[in-house]
Structure 1
Amino acid sequence: MTDKQLICKDCEKEFTFSEGEQAFYKEKGFENDPVRCPECRKARKQNNDRGFRK
């Protein structure tokens, strides 16, 4: 695996999905790459009470 450059669906900035993050996602059984950058993920969790979808 190598680092991937992805585009955030919220802010449209490019962010790196590192090799270590990819291994973590695979270990947890996640099949899709993240669609939001770390900053937007954090902001979304803070705006949604406990991070759950409404």
Structure 2
Amino acid sequence: MDKKIICKDCKAEFLFTEGEQQFYKEKGFDNEPVRCPECRQSRKQQNNKGRR
């Protein structure tokens, strides 16, 4: 079943789909995402800029 989660950064509601939940489980991730896909992508880009 899909889960509705509120993004930690922008406070937007997003769905954590069954497929994503299965992927997280297969990868051994214990925690659900706390950021929406847009904020995750933005944060990832910011982190990569600092590693040059």
The amino acid of 1:25's aligned partner reads Y
Over aligned residues, Cα RMSD in angstroms? 1.4
Q: Alignment length, in residue pairs?
A: 50
TM-score by length of 1: 0.88
Q: Distance in 1 between matches of 2:30 and 2:42?
A: 23
Gaps in structure 1 of 5+ consecutive residues: none
Q: Percent identity?
A: 68
Gaps in structure 2 of 5+ consecutive residues: none
Helix, strand or coil at the partner of 1:39: helix
* Structure 1 residue 14 displacement after superposition: 0.2
Structure with more of its chain in helix, by fraction = 2
TM-score by length of 2: 0.91
Q: 2:32 maps to which residue?
A: 33
Helix, strand or coil at the partner of 2:39: helix
Helix, strand or coil at the partner of 1:25: helix
Helix, strand or coil at the partner of 2:24: helix
Runs of 4+, deviation exceeding 2 Å: none
